[in-house]
Amino acid sequence: MAPLRPGDPAPDFELARDGGGSISLSALRGRPVVLFFYPKDDTKTCTVEAISFSGLSKEFTAARVALIGISPDSVKSHDRFAKKHDLAVALAADEDKAVVNAYGVWAEKSMYGRKYMGVERTTYLIDAAGIISRVWEKVKVAGHAEEVLAAAKTLRTA
């Protein structure tokens, strides 16, 4: 499936999350949401990205913006990852890959000439009405969380 674009309705989901319980997009309606899709817990670039978003979590909260990281890792893996790096963002477990497929970020990748399927690092900014406002594809992590925060602050809450 092709990645979603600005103006598309964001597919709803309910996923298990770190720390227990679940998180759903529909429960967050009325406020902007940032979904950052990343390939794997505790890998170098994914760790830098999660720490970057965590470092700005108070600013996202002050702007009434929900922040959710999604990967195919298990809740147990998310719990270890969050504890090890003192992360302050919700991490949702998409083990069956339904959400990464719905958002079009499960894609063929290539490393050292080997092709494989994996998560294409992508961030979605969703407005308070559940419509995709902005998409960052093939994210380069340096400065990304700050750019997303600046864009999120321009959205209204309900």
pLDDT, position 19: 92
pLDDT, position 1: 61
As given in the structure block, the two tokens for residue 82 are 């969050």
Q: How far is CA 29 from CA 34, 86, 91, 128, in A?
A: 12, 27, 18, 6
pLDDT, position 73: 97
Has residue 29 got a pLDDT over 80? yes
Q: Do 27 and 33 form a contact (C-beta atoms < 8 A)?
A: no
Active site includes 46?
yes
pLDDT, position 155: 84
* Catalytically annotated residue among 23, 33, 46, 89: 46
Q: What does the CA dihedral 42, 56, 130, 137 come to, rounded to 10 degrees?
A: -50
Per-residue model confidence as pLDDT tens digits over 42-61: 999 999 999 999 999 999 99
Q: How far is CA 158 from CA 12, 33, 90, in A?
A: 18, 12, 22
The mean per-residue pLDDT over the stretch 86-104 comes to 96
